[in-house]
Structure 1
Amino acid sequence: MADLSQEDWIKQLEADNNSVILDVRTQDEVDAGFIPTAKHIDIYKGQGFIDELEELDKSKNYYVYCRSGARSGQACGIMDQLGFENAYNLEGGFNDWDGEVAHPE
């Protein structure tokens, strides 16, 4: 797991053709806006969160974010324990995000 600044996170993500953006916030937070193409799995689902992670392709590189960077850091730690090789935490989370934002339809 690595904590990346927004600049490094974006730079690395743009150069990565094996990437998945993972949003671990609550549904209410996602409803207010999210990073385009992000897959949403709420970390507060407990075992359900782990079950959904287990269904993901562990050979991909995961770029993980939450509101402030704390929950996504926890998520990256869990992913490490589950055998994911590359999980990158967005420092400052969605609060500090100044890139493109999508909204649910």
Structure 2
Amino acid sequence: MRRIAILTALLLGLVGCSTATESLPADVTIIDVRTSEEFTSGHLEGAINMDVTAAGFAEALESLDPDDSYAVYCRSGNRSAQAAALMQSAGLTVTDLGSLENAADLSGTTIVR
């Protein structure tokens, strides 16, 4: 029973946000949700940095246009999943690209170091 409850919770957490198995819209805004130090060490070309662990992340989402599409990534995919869930809750269209390397592969975007 516990496994079913855990699987149900995981599946419910994924409802409403896209995963990176689909192609990205051409006009998507890519957001790196890592710390500024991580962002400086290497990020996708053209990405903006919004640290999901920083105070005020949820409030910063209010500045994003709800009519635009967004894609998020982090180091391993954990924080990007958290950010995607928060963004989806805020009514934004978001795709979780997972890790930096996965995001580069899926988006065809260069990593700037």
Alignment TM-score, normalising by the size of structure 2: 0.74
Q: How does 1:25-104 map to 2 (within 5 A)?
A: 25-46=34-55, 48-84=56-92, 86-91=93-98, 93-96=99-102, 97-98=104-105, 99-103=109-113
**Greater RCO between the two (CA within 8 Å, min separation 6)?**
1
How many angstroms does 1:18 deviate by?
A: 3.2
Between the aligned partners of 2:84 and 2:27, the Cα distance in structure 1 is 17
**Unaligned segments of structure 1, at least 5 residues:** none
Between the aligned partners of 2:48 and 2:40, the Cα distance in structure 1 is 13
Identity %: 33
Between the aligned partners of 1:68 and 1:3, the Cα distance in structure 2 is 14
Paired AA for residue 60 in structure 1: D
Match of 2:28 among 13, 19, 25: 19
Whose radius of gyration is greater, 1 or 2? 2
How many angstroms does 1:3 deviate by?
A: 1.9
Between the aligned partners of 1:67 and 1:42, the Cα distance in structure 2 is 12
How many angstroms does 1:2 deviate by?
A: 1.6
Between the aligned partners of 2:42 and 2:71, the Cα distance in structure 1 is 17
Alignment TM-score, normalising by the size of structure 1: 0.79
| Kept after mapping to 2: 8 A contact 1:53/1:79 | yes
| Kept after mapping to 2: 8 A contact 1:3/1:73 | no
